[in-house]
Structure 1
Amino acid sequence: MTSNAAISVTGLNKSFGDTSVLKNILLDIEAGERVVVIGPSGTGKSTLLRCLNYLDRPDSGSIRVGDLNVDPASASRADVLALRRRTSFVFQNYALFANKTARENITQALITVKGQSEADAIARADETLRETGLIDKANSYPAALSGGQQQRIGIGRAMALDADLMLFDEPTSALDPEWVGEVLDLMRRVAEKRQTMLIVTHEMQFAREIADRIIFMSDGQIVEQGPPRQLLENPQDPRTKAFLRRVGKTGSSEGYS
């Protein structure tokens, strides 16, 4: 493991009942690196992201973000809150508050997670809405927005937090096909800023374009990783080869991720 990595995950394990979902995950992510995670369904990709944000508490292992180190054996509520201030999460089902406007969905996170004043939160929310191209929807409720617009608000909420690490859990999987492009375009713009990103996705061509590194997971483990061209065109592990044959190297792996 690289001691100077911006994010370092060591020996991460997670089980649900008798089912072991993550098995001794070791992962370093450099500042500004865009890492994409692919793999079959049920292999622990989403659980990995949720553990990094402590939405699911790991059973063992440590997560270090900058100078903050969190271990489930000793993690306090303050440690978890500190970790969540340094990570932001984009959910596949948007996870917007139905009773709050687009602007309020962003300001809520800034006030509760970052402790900003209402005035500062509104100013940052409006700046983010302009970045996402949705300032004209600031006072709209989620029910009045398309799926693509809702997910762009979800990404905007994560952007506004200025976190060390942005986590994307299959951000296009719940979208109708006509909305996928606008969400991927916004993610490309985020990536161009060298935002540190860990992305679980079934969009293989997008992974090829955006990733500095692609990780293939299977059976709760990181099986293989490398630059996109290397992993997609010359995989070494039989499980990676079988997965890529099944989904195609550039198409969508929807239904398998």
Structure 2
Amino acid sequence: MIRIEGLTKRFGATTVLDGIDLQIGRGERVVVIGPSGTGKSTLLRCVNFLDRPDAGRISIGAISVDAARAGRADILALRRATAFVFQNYGLFANRSALGNIMEALVTVQKRPRAEAEARAREILSETGLADKADSYPASLSGGQQQRVGIGRAMAIGADLMLFDEPTSALDPEWVGEVLDLMRSVAQTRQTMLIVTHEMRFAREIADRVVFMDGGRIVEQGPPARIFDAPRDARLRRFLARVSG
């Protein structure tokens, strides 16, 4: 369903992504792990052109975009096929929880407001936030804000959901509720590409774990093999550090 080919991204003289190749099947949950600064978040941001790649091709279903030739229409089509959950929530401060979820339904998908509101209220119920529909982000806890962010991604029905370390900005007390919601999303067989530092969660939720280091994919495989029988020395060192 999803094919990433030769994805390359440079910031000045630094190559952050060095020819990434990755395929993801429909309904597959792929978790990306690795040291800080190795390009994991940049990978996600390049998949939907929040950061424009310097080279490579991204295909999602029938949409295929070459970084060297991508025009505005190509990028918009790619973004409509994806939904992004940010580290820092990425909510509109001047819109309520309901308004944040409605926004893309109205402005991008051009749904009638009444239809968009009904769908947004369904999502708020599914995320356990029905009573927070009229609350603004400043009055919500970090966990509630991130659940609104995930709800917004759920609402648009994208082919691929991208999660960029969704618990990294949360106080420890809120991490569990966000991971629980992600488990619920995963049970629907939504296609997911997740960057996380939660190793226990990665082992539990992933169909496949991808280890990145130095802007490259070093090793990938089922969680049991990656965590219990890693082959690459860099992966073994990384796991020893995060488990210690």
Mark yes or no: TM-score above 0.5. Answer: yes
| Distance in 1 of aligned mates of 2:110 and 2:212 | 36
Aligned-pair CA distance for 1:115: 2.0
Contact 1:90–1:168 at 8 Å: present in 2 too? Answer: yes
- What value does the CA root-mean-square deviation take over the aligned residues? 0.8
Where in structure 1 are there 5+ consecutive unaligned residues? 1-5, 252-257
Q: How many residues align?
A: 244
| Distance in 2 of aligned mates of 1:90 and 1:15 | 23
Aligned-pair CA distance for 1:118: 1.3
SS state at 2:209 partner: strand
Provide, for residues 29-50 of structure 1, a one-character-per-residue CA deviation record: whole Å limited to 9, x for no partner: 0000000000000000000000
Aligned-pair CA distance for 1:95: 0.6
SS state at 1:163 partner: coil
| Distance in 2 of aligned mates of 1:50 and 1:9 | 13
1:125-140 aligned within 5 A: 125-140=120-135
Partner residue of 1:41 out of 27, 36, 43: 36
- Does residue 99 of the first structure (1) align with residue 94 of the second (2)? yes
Aligned-pair CA distance for 1:113: 2.2
Letter in 1 for 2:225: Q
Q: Which residue of 2 aligns with 1:181?
A: 176
Q: Which residue of 1 aligns with 2:70?
A: 75
Provide, for residues 220-249 of structure 1, a one-character-per-residue CA deviation record: whole Å limited to 9, x for no partner: 00000000000001000110000001001x
Q: Which residue of 2 aligns with 1:53?
A: 48
Provide, for residues 104-162 of structure 1, a one-character-per-residue CA deviation record: whole Å limited to 9, x for no partner: 00111112222222112111111111110101100000011000000000000000010
Contact 1:12–1:62 at 8 Å: present in 2 too? Answer: yes
Q: Which residue of 1 aligns with 2:14?
A: 19
Q: Percentage identity across aligned positions?
A: 69
| Distance in 1 of aligned mates of 2:45 and 2:112 | 28
| Distance in 1 of aligned mates of 2:62 and 2:145 | 34
| Distance in 1 of aligned mates of 2:236 and 2:111 | 48
1:119-198 aligned within 5 A: 119-198=114-193
- Does residue 7 of the first structure (1) align with residue 2 of the second (2)? yes
SS state at 2:90 partner: coil
| Distance in 2 of aligned mates of 1:139 and 1:16 | 41
| Distance in 2 of aligned mates of 1:161 and 1:26 | 27
Aligned-pair CA distance for 1:72: 1.5
SS state at 2:176 partner: helix
Q: Which residue of 1 aligns with 2:207?
A: 212
- Does residue 86 of the first structure (1) align with residue 81 of the second (2)? yes
